[in-house]
């Protein structure tokens, strides 16, 4: 690593009070990745240094890709890497710039813009976004910010400003057929480069803010936001898929592990006898019965009253996406009465469509629209009484808020007694349990209750659900 290279790269920052040079920066980056939960070991760091020796640092793309190839070893990690990389080097550069007193030059020659000039700028930006050229988008983002700052429309809140500018530019992903044919926006702009352009706007606004105030805002760790369960109305299919893909992979890995543990395996007498023929009837080699991963039969009961709807539908989608892990699965939704929805999930694969179908067709709300657990238990018991047996698993998802009605824990106890295992998933944090009209304590004595409002918790639960029989006994 020669000194002459050093000033060219994006890492050309070094603060006087901190350790010098690129190696220190890379180590800091590694440290930051670890803080965000990416497993970066010493060997990965060594690889990163080795790789940097082979490529030129003047290309930011190469620099980033090379680091990513050595530091982020799954798609999930890669996503975090991108975020951390952006943040890390942006902050490093800004920090140095504000220490050295370097400022971006004002965009020259932009006086009050006439409507025509603004329209020209719009076209230029739309064309750049359509072509997805990074450099042009960055320059135009600065122009756009300068132009709109002149019009005194800035709110001072970066997120709001980004959206305002985007709207003023008329940048949309959908086609806008009312525009003239030569307008690049007519066909709709590619989502990916729109997102890039927004990110650039945000970054330029941040840069301007740092220049104005002269210091960096505190570094924010990536929120649980990326990892929390989509429980709001924003919940979308992509989120379901991400969780499902992850769960499926984990389950697949876990099945392998379960097969590896042979401590409790039963001797397969028939195969042992057959094998003993080779040794004249003396059973020298014991043959064991292979352990099969448990494939439970599942009954799911989901509360779909307004307070927990999205959590329920999300959960049902996940379970149905995993349905081949289970031998049999029947799902019910309830508010005041219950209704079977297994079919809907088999037919529909769109998350939104499922939500709509449930609210329109299931007919679970009677008069009040408040959950009536007592009635739900007795209806459930009459419907599936014959099918409940010790190998069946019953899962209830709900907040156990009875709205002052009788919880009928005795009927619930009957259900739990017939089924092999009973789980309760509560989408509320444990802190709120048994406050107000929550009566989960009454049910908890008959079942195992989980709180379930992040993907990690959901994963814990699915693991408990598919755990081999012996380990599952609690």
Binding-site member from 253, 281, 390, 474 for other proteins (CB under 8 A)? 253
Q: Within 13 Å, how many C-alpha atoms sit on residue 382's CB side?
A: 8
Q: Is 175 or 273 the residue whose CB approaches other proteins more closely?
A: 175
Q: Is 256 or 367 the residue whose CB approaches other proteins more closely?
A: 256
Which span sits near other proteins by CB under 8 A: 7-15, 107-115, 165-173, 241-249? 241-249
Residue 47 found at the interface with other proteins (CB under 8 A):
yes
Report residue 455 as tokens. 């993907």
Sheet with 421-426: strands ordered across: 338-340, 328-334, 297-303, 392-397, 421-426, 448-451
Q: Is 153 or 350 the residue whose CB approaches other proteins more closely?
A: 350
Binding-site member from 3, 16, 61, 404 for other proteins (CB under 8 A)? 61
Binding-site member from 22, 30, 70, 316 for other proteins (CB under 8 A)? 70
The least CB distance from residue 62 to other proteins, in Å, is 6
Which span sits near other proteins by CB under 8 A: 257-265, 280-288, 293-301, 444-452? 257-265
Residue 298 found at the interface with other proteins (CB under 8 A):
no
The least CB distance from residue 51 to other proteins, in Å, is 6
Binding-site member from 8, 20, 34, 55 for other proteins (CB under 8 A)? 55
The least CB distance from residue 131 to other proteins, in Å, is 9
With CA atoms as reference, report the closest residue to 213 among 205, 225, 221: 205
How many residues of this chain interact with other proteins, rule: CB under 8 A? 38
Q: Which residues within the stretch 191-220 sit at the binding site for other proteins (CB under 8 A)?
A: 192
Residue 43 found at the interface with other proteins (CB under 8 A):
yes
The least CB distance from residue 345 to other proteins, in Å, is 13
CA distances from residue 242 to 114, 237, 246, 279, 461 in whole angstroms, order as listed: 47, 9, 6, 53, 17
Residue 54 found at the interface with other proteins (CB under 8 A):
yes
**Which backbone phi and psi does 292 adopt, to 5 degrees?**
-95, 140
The CA distance from 370 to 336, in Å, is 7
Binding-site member from 66, 205, 308, 442 for other proteins (CB under 8 A)? 66
In the chain the first and final C-alpha atoms are separated, in Å, by 58
The CA distance from 146 to 110, in Å, is 8
Binding-site member from 50, 86, 343, 385 for other proteins (CB under 8 A)? 50
Q: Is 67 or 141 the residue whose CB approaches other proteins more closely?
A: 67
Residue 249 found at the interface with other proteins (CB under 8 A):
yes
Binding-site member from 113, 237, 258, 265 for other proteins (CB under 8 A)? 237
The least CB distance from residue 226 to other proteins, in Å, is 18
Q: Is 51 or 381 the residue whose CB approaches other proteins more closely?
A: 51
The least CB distance from residue 247 to other proteins, in Å, is 11
Residue 241 found at the interface with other proteins (CB under 8 A):
yes
Residue 137 found at the interface with other proteins (CB under 8 A):
no
Q: Is 131 or 366 the residue whose CB approaches other proteins more closely?
A: 131
The CA distance from 33 to 453, in Å, is 25
Residue 73 found at the interface with other proteins (CB under 8 A):
yes
The CA distance from 439 to 13, in Å, is 58
The CA distance from 128 to 136, in Å, is 6
- List the x/- string, 350-369, binding to other proteins by CB under 8 A: x-------------------
Q: Is 152 or 257 the residue whose CB approaches other proteins more closely?
A: 257
Nearest 5°: CA angle at 315, between 312 and 318?
A: 150
Largest CA distance in the chain: 102
Binding site for other proteins (CB under 8 A): 39, 41, 43-44, 47, 50-51, 54-55, 61-62, 65-66, 68-70, 72-75, 78, 177, 190, 192, 237, 241, 245, 248-250, 252-253, 256-257, 259-260, 349-350
């Amino acid at each position: 690593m020669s000194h002459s290279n050093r000033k060219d790269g994006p890492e050309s920052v070094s603060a006087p009070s901190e350790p010098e040079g690129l190696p220190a920066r890379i180590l800091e980056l590694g440290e930051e990745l670890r803080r965000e939960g990416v497993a970066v070991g010493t060997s990965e760091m060594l690889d990163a240094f080795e790789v940097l020796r082979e490529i030129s640092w003047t290309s930011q793309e190469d620099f980033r890709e090379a680091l990513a190839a050595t530091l982020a070893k799954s798609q999930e990690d890669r996503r975090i890497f991108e975020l951390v990389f952006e943040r890390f080097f942006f902050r490093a550069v800004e920090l140095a710039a504000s220490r050295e007193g370097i400022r971006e030059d004002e965009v020259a020659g932009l006086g009050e813009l006439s409507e025509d000039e603004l329209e020209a700028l719009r076209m230029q930006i739309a064309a750049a976004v359509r072509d997805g050229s990074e450099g042009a988008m960055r320059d135009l983002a600065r122009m756009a910010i300068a132009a709109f700052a002149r019009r005194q429309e800035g709110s001072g809140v970066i997120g709001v400003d980004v959206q305002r500018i985007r709207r003023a530019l008329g940048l949309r992903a959908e086609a806008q057929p009312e525009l003239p044919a030569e307008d690049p926006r007519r066909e709709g702009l590619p989502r990916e480069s729109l997102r890039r352009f927004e990110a650039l706007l945000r970054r330029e606004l941040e840069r301007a803010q740092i220049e104005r105030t002269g210091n960096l805002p505190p570094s924010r760790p990536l929120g649980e936001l990326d990892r929390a369960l989509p429980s709001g109305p924003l919940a979308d299919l992509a989120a379901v898929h991400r969780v499902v893909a992850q769960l499926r992979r984990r389950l697949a890995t876990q099945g392998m592990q379960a097969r590896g543990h042979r401590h409790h395996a039963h001797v397969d007498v028939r195969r042992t006898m057959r094998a003993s023929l080779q040794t004249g009837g003396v059973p020298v080699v014991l043959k064991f019965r292979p352990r099969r991963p448990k494939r439970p039969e599942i009954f799911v009961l989901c509360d779909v009253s307004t307070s927990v709807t999205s959590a329920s539908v999300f959960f049902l989608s996940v379970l149905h996406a995993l349905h081949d892990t289970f031998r049999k699965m029947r799902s019910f939704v309830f508010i005041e009465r219950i209704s079977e929805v297994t079919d809907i999930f088999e037919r529909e694969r769109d998350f939104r469509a499922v939500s709509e179908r449930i609210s329109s067709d299931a007919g679970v709300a009677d008069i009040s629209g408040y959950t009536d657990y007592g009635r739900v238990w007795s209806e459930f018991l009459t419907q599936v009484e014959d099918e409940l047996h010790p190998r069946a698993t019953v899962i209830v998802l709900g907040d156990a808020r009875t709205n002052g009605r009788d919880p009928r824990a005795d009927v619930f106890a009957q259900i739990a007694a017939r089924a092999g295992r009973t789980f309760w998933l509560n989408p509320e944090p444990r802190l709120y349990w048994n406050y107000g009209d929550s009566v989960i304590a009454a049910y908890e004595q008959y079942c195992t209750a989980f709180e379930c409002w992040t993907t990690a918790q959901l994963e814990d639960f699915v693991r408990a659900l598919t755990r081999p029989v012996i380990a599952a006994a609690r």
